[in-house]
Amino acid sequence: MRSRTVAGLALALVLSGCSGEPDPVATEDPARRAAMTALARSDDHLQTESFTVEVTSGDAMRTTSRMDVPNRRAESALRQATGEEQSMTVRTRLLGDAVFMQIDGVPIPGVDARWMRIDPARIPPGQEVSFAPGRNDAGGADRVLAAITDASRLPDGRYRGTLDLAQVGTGTGLSFSTSDISGLGDAARAVPFLATLDERGRLTHLQIDLPAITAGKAPMVETRYSAFGEPFTVQAPPADEVVTPPDSVYQHFGR
C-alpha cells in the first residue's frame, strides 16, 4: 500500500559553533526513525493476505470488513447513527469486479432495502472500494499511517505519537473531511495516537485520541485488524434480488 517515506522526519542540526569547522551535519534520532519506519510498514501485508478490520467512532459509527485481496473477495457492513434512535446501514460485497451494495435507513429516492449492482466507474475518484492499494481497507491505514508526524516506541512495545488529520483527508475507509478538520483548528495537525503492532510488525490496533484535543467532545476513533490469513467466503446476492441503482445513489458517495 502507499506509504510516505521517512524523508519528512525532522532533522536536528548539530552546529559546531567554531570557525573553520565543516558545515553543520544533519542528524536524526535513530529511535524515532525506527518507530516511524515500523509504523509506515505495518500495513504492507494487507495486499498479500486476508484480514478483518473494525472501525469505531464512539457509539456513532461502526464498520466491520473482511478483505481478501489475493482471492479478490470482500464484504463489509457500516452502521452509523443518523439521529436519535435512528441509524443507517450499508452492506457491501465485492467478488472480482462485481460490487454489490445494500442501503437501509437512508432516504435516497428510488432506493429500498434490495441489493444493487454498483458501477465502479461512476463512483467519485478516491471513494471507490476495490482491491487496489489504498482502496481495500476500511481502516484507511494507508492514509492514516502516512499522516504520522512523530512517533516513539513505548517500553511495553506499543507506539505513540501524533498525526495530522489534514494529511489523512478523505478516501476509502476512515476519513476526515475539510469541515471536520477546520472545526478542530490547529489541534488537528497534532492529534495523539496509540498503535499496537504484532510480533510480525503488523498493525493490530490504532487509537486516534480526538477527546484529547476536543475536551472530550469528539469520540475516540479506534481501528482493529485481526484474522490475518484466515479464509472466508463471500456469496453474491441472488440475481433476482439485485436491482440497478438509480442515479441518486451515486450522488451520495463521498458525502
User: How high is the mean pLDDT of the chain?
Assistant: 85
pLDDT: which is higher, 170 or 77: 77
**Which run of H or of E encompasses 55?**
strand 51-57
| Residue 153 to residue 155: CA distance in whole angstroms | 7
Taking residues 114-120, report their average pLDDT: 93
Residue type (1 letter), 140:
G
pLDDT tens for each residue of 163-200: 999 999 887 788 888 888 888 889 999 999 999 999 99
Contact status, residue 76 vs residue 65, Cβ threshold 8 Å: yes
> Residue 48, Cβ neighbours under 10 Å: how many?
10
**pLDDT of the residue at 1:** 40
| Residue 182 to residue 151: CA distance in whole angstroms | 24
pLDDT band at 12 (very low <50, low <70, confident <90, very high): very low
* CA distances from residue 50 to 128, 211, 227 in whole angstroms, order as listed: 19, 32, 7
pLDDT band at 16 (very low <50, low <70, confident <90, very high): very low
* CA distances from residue 60 to 42, 84, 101, 159 in whole angstroms, order as listed: 27, 11, 21, 26
| Triad 176, 177, 181: Cα angle to 5° | 75
Q: By C-alpha distance, which of 244, 14, 215, 27 is closest to 115?
A: 244
pTM above threshold 0.85: no
Q: How many CA atoms lie within 13 A of 244 on its CB side?
A: 3
Q: Which residue has the cell 553543520?
A: 24
pLDDT band at 6 (very low <50, low <70, confident <90, very high): very low
Grid coordinates belonging to 35? 518507530
pLDDT band at 5 (very low <50, low <70, confident <90, very high): very low
Taking residues 113-120, report their average pLDDT: 92
pLDDT tens for each residue of 17-65: 333 444 444 457 999 999 999 999 999 999 999 999 999 999 889 999 9
Helix, strand, coil share of the chain (percent; to 5) = 20, 35, 45
pLDDT tens for each residue of 200-247: 999 999 999 999 999 999 999 999 999 999 999 999 999 999 999 998
Q: Provide the 8-state DSSP code for 114.
A: S
Taking residues 122-127, report their average pLDDT: 76
Q: Which domains does the chain have, with CATH numbers?
A: 44-226 (2.50.20.20)
